[in-house]
Each structure stands twice: as C-alpha cells, then as structure tokens.
Amino acid sequence: MNIKNYEDVLDFWFDEKHIPLQFAENEEFDNLIRKEFLTTWEAGKEGLLVDWRKTIRGRLAEIIVLDQFSRNLFRKDIRTYTQDKMAIALSQEIVNHPEYDTLNKEEKKFVLLPFMHSESTDLHDWAYKYYLELDDEGTLYFEDKHREILDRFGRYPYQNEDLGRTSTEEEVKWLEEKSDGSYFS
C-alpha cells in the first residue's frame, strides 16, 4: 500500500496551483487526487493514519484526507460522507489543542470545514465561535449559508440522492431552483 506522508498531503493541497481547484468540481483535479492519494484515503478510513496525530499538522492532513479528498474522490456517492464523523472528531481535537494558533488562516479553514459539512445545528452552534475568531469573511459567509439551509430543511437537500434519502416537495422545488448548483447564493 503506497501511503503518502502527511507533509505530502499538505504540500499538495496548499500548492499554489491547487488552491483555486480546492472547491471546484474539476475532473482532472479529482483524478490527480485519486492517482496520488486513493491508497492514503483508504488507509485513513481504516484508521491507519493514527501516527499522523502526533503533530497538529499531521492531524490537519488527516482531516483533509477524510473530509476534502472524500469529496473529490467520490462525487455523487455515499462515500463522500462516510468519513465526516471522524473528520469532525479530529477537528474538535485540533481547535482545543494548545498549538491550534500555530496554524495559519488557510489551514484553519480546513480544520473548520467538517463542522460546516455537518447537518447538526448543535454542532454549528458550538463551532460558530471558531468561524468568528477566524475572521474570514468568505468562510463566515459560507457557514451562514449552510446554516440557513439547515434551519430551513433540517438537512442538506443536495445530499439526499447520494445518501438514499427521499426529498420533500419543498426540497425538490428548492433543488430545481438551484439546479445550477448555486446552493449558497
């Protein structure tokens, strides 16, 4: 099994040429992640990246593998979400870690994303102070938009099909209105 080290993950993810692709739906970028990191993701889902947790940057890399790479590797697939709870637990550990403030703003954004991906309004409430402390207008905007969707529907309707859930009439109407993918505008 060709498992990359955590510095490989961080170097790749925060490479200047990859930053513009982090939130884009880009098949070429997804395929590159698949080629370089699929075996690392497989190890992560089995809990085999545990040694990375010895450092805060290793924990950050594990979050990126479990939370972000899952979304690149498995678009429109339940596997997009199967590692979310582990990523949330790691993020909770990091924000309470004495070295949290050694991470830069860009790194902290990815620590906070698992909270944003959660459908738990209680978790969003708990995490909101970290978004405020981050002091990043764009990240706070997207957190607020995620929360608006949760407040309206109690879940993210755009995940229903992937998770095998039946959409309500109101969700179907909203999804049709947002068929261009503009869920957060």
Q: C-alpha angle with apex 142: 57 to 6, nearest 5 degrees? A: 15
Domain check: are 105 and 15 in the same one?
A: yes
What is the reported pTM? Answer: 0.94
DSSP letter (8 states) at residue 53: G
Domain check: are 151 and 93 in the same one?
A: no
pLDDT of residue 181: 72
Q: Residues 57, 29: contact at Cβ < 8 Å?
A: no
Tell me the C-alpha distance between 157 and 77, whole Å: 14
Q: Residues 39, 81: contact at Cβ < 8 Å?
A: no
Which of 118, 140, 170 is a domain's end point?
A: 118
Sign of CA dihedral 51, 5, 78, 177: positive
Domain check: are 104 and 37 in the same one?
A: yes
pLDDT digit string (tens) for the chain, length 185 residues: 689 999 999 999 999 999 999 999 999 999 999 999 999 999 999 999 999 999 999 999 999 999 999 999 999 899 999 999 999 999 999 999 999 999 999 999 999 999 999 999 999 999 999 999 999 999 999 999 999 999 999 999 999 999 999 999 999 999 998 877 777 87
Q: What is the DSSP string of 36-51?
A: HHHHHHHHHHTTTTGG
Domain range for residue 31?
1-118
Domain check: are 94 and 137 in the same one?
A: no
Which of 118, 146, 165 is a domain's end point?
A: 118
Domain check: are 105 and 144 in the same one?
A: no
Domain check: are 106 and 23 in the same one?
A: yes
Tell me the C-alpha distance between 122 and 18, whole Å: 33
Which of 118, 141, 176 is a domain's end point?
A: 118
Domain check: are 125 and 88 in the same one?
A: no
Domain check: are 166 and 82 in the same one?
A: no
Domain check: are 19 and 101 in the same one?
A: yes
Tell me the C-alpha distance between 65 and 86, whole Å: 11
Domain check: are 46 and 125 in the same one?
A: no
As for how many domains the chain has, the answer is 2
pLDDT of residue 178: 84
Domain check: are 109 and 134 in the same one?
A: no
Domain check: are 106 and 87 in the same one?
A: yes
